[in-house]
Structure 1
Amino acid sequence: MFRRLFGDSKSKDTRSLSRTRHTNEQNQDALRTIDHLQQSEDMMNKKLEKYDEEILDLQNKARQYLTKSNPDRPGAIRLIKRRKQLELQRDKLWQMKQNIELVNEQVQTSHFNRQVTDSLNIGQQHLKRTQKLMPTKKIEDIIDNITEQMEISNEINDLLAAPILTNDLNAIDFDLENELNILDNEILKENMIQINLPDAHTEKIQVSSTNDVDKQLAELQRLTTG
């Protein structure tokens, strides 16, 4: 029952391993083919070089037969015939080599395309497995949780940075302000009394006018508060 619902993991692994083994065998087969074709090309190149050397040698010998004091024309003709036969064989071999090169290029291109296709397939399978493990809804939930935690952290920071005030401290500040005002008024009255008292050596008490008193009070207020 569980195998029908969730599948057989062992069978999946076996199929995956079988596909991997098959792919490796194909890659090895392609590499062996490319190597065999390359060896054939090398062998043909050596054979073509040998043909060229023999053809050149026959050509030189035929010229020597004709440049003798007593030219050997029949001998020169035999050498020329042999040269032409070798040229025909060389041309056929050269064409065969061209065909081998073409096939080798096609095999290499096919092998390269197969490797690219296998790589794309592996990447696609990896992406599919990853996306199954991380669906869009799960990613959205993660982002929402991160955002919520950041908001909570910011609120905590704001609370910790706020000044701590209590009712007792507020009451103390209010009482201190009242006492300070009372003390200012007492100092102001004492200064007013000292201003109005006459000096001991003066014979006549000089009474200040109302405007002068107001100015003096204003000056004292400025001095005490400033």
Structure 2
Amino acid sequence: MKQLTMLCSILTFFVISFVNGQEIAILKYGGGGDWYSNPTALPNLIQFCNNNIGTKINPKPETVEVGSVSIFQYPYLHMTGHGNVFFSDEEAENLRTYLLSGGFLHIDDNYGMEPYLRRELEKVFPNKRLEELGTDHPIFNLKYEFPAGLPKIHEHDGKRPQALGIFHEGRLLLLFTFESDLGDGWEDPSVHNDPEEIRLKALQMGANIVEFAFKS
């Protein structure tokens, strides 16, 4: 019965992706981390994408739980937070099936989630590891050019920004942006008082990620 339910979810994923392949949802996870942080970030990014790269994404993203079959309704999931992340074995299996079936997950570290995330990703893909994307990767060379790679939006530990990914058969199915904090740059200007040029870089990089995910 469980395998049949999963098969139905995968078939639903392909049908919905074919009919309406431009939707984004926020991924809710366990462990106590604030998956709900940066509440204005994703709506602002969606508005930017709809205005500048021709997408038609729902301006009010839904929230889906990592273990729910509802994730198969969305070709793009966004995940963020500051602290602990926990996936049960069932949730890890659900997320793995989603990603291998054609889904895409962008995880943006809002500062502090990286060690917990790495631990939980080993449950999702025991035989895969995060790999750094080179500056020649297409995600940096779409609508907006980023010849130096992932931009630095907020300083935390003084480390360089990194775009890390998990690949399967040559396809980037999970992107982890670390020491960049794109989501803070997507938030309303009054939240962090970032200069406009910094916010624009964050939004442009986010738009590249969205464009890449929907085209891949």
TM bucket, shorter chain: under 0.3
More helix by share: 1
Scaled by the length of structure 1, the TM-score of the pair is: 0.15
> Rg larger in 1 or in 2?
1
Q: Determine which structure has greater relative contact order: mean sequence separation of CA pairs < 8 Å that are 6+ residues apart, divided by chain length.
A: 2
Scaled by the length of structure 2, the TM-score of the pair is: 0.15
